[in-house]
Structure 1
Amino acid sequence: MTIYNLNIGIGWASSGVEYAQAYRSNIFKKNKQKAKFIFTDLFDENLEPMTKNIGFDDEEIIWMYQFFTDVKISPTTFTYSDLEATFGTEPEEIKDEGYGKYYSFDNNKTVIKAFHDTHCGPDAVHLVHTYVNGDLIQKDNYTYVKTFSEYYKPNENSDNLYQRRFFNENGSVAYDELLNGEQSLYIFEDRTIYSKEALSEYFLRSLGMNENDILIMDRSTDNGPSIIKTKDYTRVKVGVVVHAEHFNEPITTEDHILWNNFYEYQFENADSIDFFITATELQKQLIEEQFVKYHKGNIKIYAIPVGSIDKLTVGNNRQKHSLITASRLAGEKHVDWLVEAVIKAHEQINDLSLDIYGLGSQMMKLQQMIEAANAGSYIRVMGHRDLTDIYCEYDGYISGSTSEGFGLTLLEAVGSGLPLIGLDVKYGNQTFIDDGENGYLLEYYKNDTPQNIQDLADAIVKMMSDDEKMEQMRQHSYEIAKDYLTQRVQEKWIQLEKEQVND
C-alpha cells in the first residue's frame, strides 16, 4: 500500500501547500506508511534541492517528466570539470561570471554559459546554455547526469523552443517532446502521446496503483480529469486536500454556492472522490452543511491538522508583558496593525513589548513605522528564526491576520502555553482561540481599520492587566494543544488508511 500525494510545482519560496506536505511526510515516516510525493510541473532547475530544503527525502519524490527515464532524484553533482570534458576543442576564453562560467570558441562564434547550482557545492553545474552567432540554440539540464535538453530556433524577437529530449543515465534517449506553441507531442519508442493532459493520464496509470493504494490531490489544476479517469481504471482511492477557503462567500447566495476555482472541479465531481481532507473541524462541518444545503450529494471528510507538535513546551522564565507574532511580513497579515495597537497599549502598560518574527515585503515599512514612533525600545523586527523553543519565553501571542486556513504559528503558540489575541476570522483563529478562555477573538471590521487597531490595543491591555486570568488562559491553551500532538495526528492518518483501503 502506497499513499501518493500529487502536487504541481515547488519553489524556494514554498507555499503552505508544500509545507503541509512536508509535515505529512514526517507523519507517514513515523507511522511507517509508504508514501510518494509527485510533482508534475517542468522545472528549469534541479528539483531535488528544493524538495530537500523543506524536509523531503529523495526516495519519496516522483517527478513526472523524469519518471519515464531511469535517472534518479539526486542533488547536482555534475561539475565544471565534467562539462569541460565534453568539449571537443579547448575554449579560447574562460571567464568567471556571477551566474557561473563563460566559455568561448571559434572567435566567439560559439559561447557556452554554465550556471552554478549554489545549493549543491562550489563546482555544481545544473544548467548550460549554448549560443551560436549570438543565438540561443540549446539548453542542457544536469543533476548527476544530463537529464534533458531543450532545442531552439533563432527568431527575430525571441528564442523559439521547438523540442525537448529526456535522457536515461547512459545518455540514451528516453523520449522526446515536440512543441508547437502551447501544444506538445510526446514521442516514446512504443507510443505517441498527443497532449500534456494525456501524458498525465499515462503517467498516473504507469504508477501501477490499485485499490490498495491512495492518491491524494494537493493541487490538481489540469490534472483533475486525468485523475478521475485513472481512478476508474485502477480503482485507487482518491482524496482531495482543501488547503484554503473553499468558496466565495460574498457571491454565495441561499440558492447557489460559488466554489473556489481550485476546488470547483473536485466538488462538482464529488461522487468520483472517495474523501476530502480539511485542516480544521470548523471547515469540515461547513462543507458538510453546504453539501446538504445545496443538494450536492454525500461527501466524506476527514479533519486532519496540516501540522502537529511533538510535545507541550513549558516556559519557566517568561518575560512579563511580552508579545510575539510570527508570519510572513505580507500585507494580508496586517502586522502594521499590531505595531500601531502595541504603541497605543504601551501608553497604559509601560513595560509592554512586541517581537515580530518573519520575512517579507512589509519589513521595511514596519521598521519605518517603529522608528517614526520612537518605539524601537519595545518593538523589534527579529527576522526568520526557528521558534520551537522561543515561544515559551513570551507572555502572549497576537495576530492581525484576516485569513488563516490553519495557522501553524497559532498551534505552536498554544503548544507553548501562550494566550492569544486575534480577529474572529476563519479558520485558524476560531480553532485555536476560545474567546475569554485562552485569549480574545475580536470582531473584524472589514472597512474600519482604526476600529480593528483600537480593539487589538484594548485586548492587549485587558489581557496583560490580569495575572490570574492570564495563568488560567495559559492552561487552557495547553488543553487545546493536546489535540494536535503528533501522536494524535498520526492516529488520524492510520484511521484514514484503514477506512479507505479496508472498507
Structure 2
Amino acid sequence: MTVYNVNLGIGWASSGVEYAQAYRAKVFEQAGIEARFIFSDMILADNIQALTSNLGLRDDQVIWLYNFFTDMPITPSTYSLAEFRQAHELQDVPMKTQTFVGNKQLVDFEMAEEWRIRVHVVDQKRQLIDYAEYFAGPRLMRREFFSASCYAVEYLDDKGQVYLRDFLNQDGRVAYHQYLNGENEVFEFPEQIYYSKTELYAEMIRRLNLQADDLVILDREDSPDLSSGQLWYQLHGPAKLGVVVHAEHYDAHHTDKQRILWNNFYEYQFVHAADTDFFIVATAAQQAMLVKQLKKYQHVDAKVVVIPVGSLTSLKQRPYQQRRRHTLITASRLASEKHIDWLISAVIAARRTVGDLVLDIYGYGEQHDRLQRQIDAAQATGYIHLMGQHRLDDVYQNYAGYIAASTSEGFGLSLLEAVGGGLPMIGFDVPYGNQTFIDPGQNGFLLPYDEQQDETEKVAALTAAVKRLFADESQGAKFSQHSYEIAAHYLDDQILAKWRQLVKEEIDA
C-alpha cells in the first residue's frame, strides 16, 4: 500500500501546500504508511534533491517526472569539481574563481578559440558542483546538470532558447530526448515517442501500476503546460482518489442560489465530485460549507473529511514572563495577498505608544524588496526586520505575540505553529485559519473585517490590537496559556489517528 501525493513544483520559498506535504510525510512516517511525493515541473536551477530534503522528504519518497524514466536516483549533489576537471582534462587549464554569499562559487576555465566553461559550485567547502555552462564567445551553447553524476544536458540555439534536453542514465547514456520548439515539446524514447508533456505524464501514471490498496492524493495538479488532474481521474484505476482543498474553495461574490463560482484550482475536481472518493479540508467550518455546496450545486453527497494540514510534535513551552517583551513575529511568503505592508504600517504607528515594540518578519517572496523600501523610508530598520527564510521550530516561543494581516487562509500552518509556541494572536475575522486558531478575547484579538474598508481603517484596527495586547502583561500570559490549550488538539498523535482512520476506510471500502 502506497499513498501518492501529487504536486507540481517546489522551491526554496515553498508555499503552504509544500509544507502541508512535509507535515504529512512526517505523520505517515510515524504511522508506517508508505508515501511518495510526485513533482512534475521542470526543475534544473537547483538539484531537486536539495529542495525536497530541505522540506524534510526522504530521497526515496520523491518521484520527479523527468528522471522517472531514467535509472538515475534522486540523490544529493556529490559530483566534485576535481572529478569534473579530470573528466574534461582541465587539470592544466587555469581557473578563475568568484565567491558568493551562501557557500557558492563560479569557476571559469578559459579555453582556446574563445571557448569557456563556467562551473557552478554549490558547496564551496567540499567543492561540489550542480551544473556547468559551455560558452563559445558570448554565446551559451550547452548546460550540464549534476547530482552524483551528470543527469541532464540541455542545448541552446543562437537566441539563447533551449531546443533539446537529454536525460541520462547512470552509465551516461541517453535515456530519452526532449525536443522543444516554442510551446511544443516532444519526448523521444528508443521504443516510443510522446508528443506532449501530458502524454509523458500519462505514461508515468500507467507505469506506477496503481493497485486497489493505493491512495492518490491531489494537492496541486494543473499548470499551463500540464493538466494532470484530469489524467489522474482517467487513469487511477483501482486506487482510491482524494483531493486536498488548501484554500477558500469558492468566490462568494459570484455565487447565488442558482450557481457557484468554484476556485479555478479545484473546479474540475468539484465538477467531478461523484468520481472523487474523498475530499480533505483542514477545518470543520470549511467541511460544513463544502458538503452543503456540493450537494446543492453538483447534486453529490460527497465524503469530506477534516484533517488539519499540519501537526505539532510537541508544544514549545516557555513562560510568558520570560519572553522578549513587546516583540511580534509574523511568518509567511512575502506575497501581496499576505498584506505584510499593513503590518509594517501598524507597528510603526503602535510604536508611538509601545516605545520598544519590535516586529520580525520571517519568509521570502516577490514582495521582499518593496517591503524593505517601506521599512527604510520609515527609518524603521532598528525595530522592523525582514529575517528571511528560516526553520522556526524553536523560534516562536521567544516572542510575545503573533500578528497576521492575510485576508484568506485555508488553514494557516504558521498560525498552528504560533499557538504551539504559546503566542497571543492578532488577525482578521476571515475564513478559515484565523477563525480556527484565534479565540476572541481568550488567546488574542479577531478583528472585524470588511472588504469595503480602506487600507487606513484596516491598519488602524491592527494598530489598536497591538496596543491592547501590550497594555496588560497579565492578559498576555492568559492568552499564551489558552493558545497552548488550542494547540494541544493538533499534536502528532491526534492527526495521525485521523489519517489512519481515513486510510483504513478507503482501503476497506
The question of a shared fold, defined as TM-score above 0.5 by the shorter chain, is answered with yes
- Please, which runs of 5 or more residues in structure 2 have no aligned partner? 100-104
CA contact (8 A) 1:49 1:119 kept: no
CA drift of 1:371 comes to 2.9
Paired residue type of 1:182: E
Residue 450 of structure 1 corresponds to which residue in structure 2?
Answer: 456
The separation in 2 between residues aligned to 1:145 and 1:240, in whole angstroms, is 36
The separation in 2 between residues aligned to 1:320 and 1:67, in whole angstroms, is 49
CA contact (8 A) 1:397 1:418 kept: yes
1:384-405 Cα offsets, whole Å, 9 max, x none, are: 5554444334443332222222
Paired residue type of 1:367: I
Q: Give RMSD over aligned pairs.
A: 2.8
CA drift of 1:17 comes to 1.4
Say whether 1:439 aligns with 2:444.
Answer: yes
CA contact (8 A) 1:177 1:186 kept: yes
Residue 122 of structure 2 corresponds to which residue in structure 1?
Answer: 118
SS at match of 1:85: helix
CA contact (8 A) 2:323 2:397 kept: no
Say whether 1:367 aligns with 2:372.
Answer: no
CA drift of 1:336 comes to 4.1
CA contact (8 A) 1:397 1:419 kept: yes
| CA distance 1:354–1:160, change in 2 (3 Å) | closer
Say whether 1:416 aligns with 2:406.
Answer: no
Residue 152 of structure 2 corresponds to which residue in structure 1?
Answer: 148
Residue 230 of structure 1 corresponds to which residue in structure 2?
Answer: 235
CA contact (8 A) 2:344 2:384 kept: no
The separation in 1 between residues aligned to 2:138 and 2:421, in whole angstroms, is 59
The separation in 2 between residues aligned to 1:404 and 1:174, in whole angstroms, is 43
Paired residue type of 1:124: L
Residue 7 of structure 1 corresponds to which residue in structure 2?
Answer: 7
| CA distance 1:74–1:347, change in 2 (3 Å) | closer
The separation in 2 between residues aligned to 1:36 and 1:10, in whole angstroms, is 15
- Please, which runs of 5 or more residues in structure 1 have no aligned partner? none
CA contact (8 A) 2:271 2:298 kept: no
What count of residue pairs does the alignment treat as equivalent? 491
Residue 298 of structure 1 corresponds to which residue in structure 2?
Answer: 301
The separation in 2 between residues aligned to 1:229 and 1:426, in whole angstroms, is 33
CA drift of 1:464 comes to 4.3
The separation in 1 between residues aligned to 2:467 and 2:137, in whole angstroms, is 70
The separation in 2 between residues aligned to 1:131 and 1:239, in whole angstroms, is 47
SS at match of 2:73: coil
SS at match of 1:190: coil
Greater CA drift, 276-285 or 62-71? 276-285
CA contact (8 A) 2:439 2:446 kept: yes
Residue 102 of structure 2 corresponds to which residue in structure 1?
Answer: none
1:58-100 Cα offsets, whole Å, 9 max, x none, are: 1111111111111111111222222223336877654334662
Residue 47 of structure 1 corresponds to which residue in structure 2?
Answer: 48
Paired residue type of 2:442: E
The separation in 2 between residues aligned to 1:186 and 1:159, in whole angstroms, is 21
The separation in 2 between residues aligned to 1:346 and 1:365, in whole angstroms, is 19
The separation in 2 between residues aligned to 1:150 and 1:387, in whole angstroms, is 38
CA drift of 1:49 comes to 1.0
| CA distance 1:103–1:485, change in 2 (3 Å) | same
SS at match of 1:266: helix
Say whether 1:28 aligns with 2:36.
Answer: no
The separation in 1 between residues aligned to 2:442 and 2:475, in whole angstroms, is 9
1:387-438 Cα offsets, whole Å, 9 max, x none, are: 4444334443332222222222222222233332211111111111122332
| CA distance 1:423–1:133, change in 2 (3 Å) | closer
| CA distance 1:137–1:432, change in 2 (3 Å) | same
1:223-248 Cα offsets, whole Å, 9 max, x none, are: 112211212xx311111111222222
TM-score, normalising length: structure 1: 0.88
Residue 181 of structure 2 corresponds to which residue in structure 1?
Answer: 180
Which of the two has higher C-alpha Rg? 1
TM-score, normalising length: structure 2: 0.87
